[in-house]
Amino acid sequence: MVCDETLLAAPGVVAAGDVCRWPNPLFGESMRLEHWTNATEQGVAAAKRLLAGEGPAGAFAPVPFFWSDQYDVKIQFAGLASAGDDLAVVHGSVEDRRFVALYGRAGRVVGVLGFDNPRRVMQCRRMVADRVGFDEAVAEARADA
């Protein structure tokens, strides 16, 4: 269901979860997410949108987030990533299977991938939400030893 940035599909009709496509202003692109976190957060936002009625309504602009536990490894990703993005490992190492990596696009941090490092993934997720520059985000993350 195609919605506007407030999750409104038609007067009095909202959508949330796997079925919803909407323009996320944080990334300036239309998206449809298949994550538990999104279904939960978007459901809350869609209900608030309905309650706002004809009144002012804010845009739904989350940092997408999902996780998956694969055997003994917790994999977490926040934000967006695509093949052409810049990539920097800011903690740990891929060889050790415990690391945090940042994705950058057009000079801005757009995603964070973590293997077994939940605390740092959440710190970096905030930088994605705050639209921090990629170089600045890499430096800040590495400084947090």
Ligand X SMILES: Cc1cc2nc3c(=O)[nH]c(=O)nc-3n(C[C@H](O)[C@H](O)[C@H](O)COP(=O)(O)OP(=O)(O)OC[C@H]3O[C@@H](n4cnc5c(N)ncnc54)[C@H](O)[C@@H]3O)c2cc1C
Closest distance to ligand X from the beta carbon of 76 (Å): 10
Rounded distance, CA 10 to CA 22, Å?
13
Cα four-point dihedral sign 134, 139, 144, 145: positive
Nearest residue (beta carbon) to ligand X: 17
* Both structure tokens of 58: 């804010």
Name the DSSP class of 85. Answer: S
From residue 65 to residue 104, the character string flagging contacts with ligand X as x (rule: CB under 6 A) and all else as - is: -x-x------------------------------------
Rounded distance, CA 27 to CA 131, Å?
9
Decide: is 105 part of the binding site for ligand X (CB under 6 A).
Answer: no
Q: Which stretch binds ligand X (CB under 6 A): 17-25, 80-88, 94-102, 133-141?
A: 17-25
Decide: is 136 part of the binding site for ligand X (CB under 6 A).
Answer: no
Closest distance to ligand X from the beta carbon of 135 (Å): 30
Decide: is 17 part of the binding site for ligand X (CB under 6 A).
Answer: yes
Nearer to ligand X by Cβ, of 64 and 104: the residue is 64
Rounded distance, CA 100 to CA 75, Å?
10
* Both structure tokens of 77: 């990703």
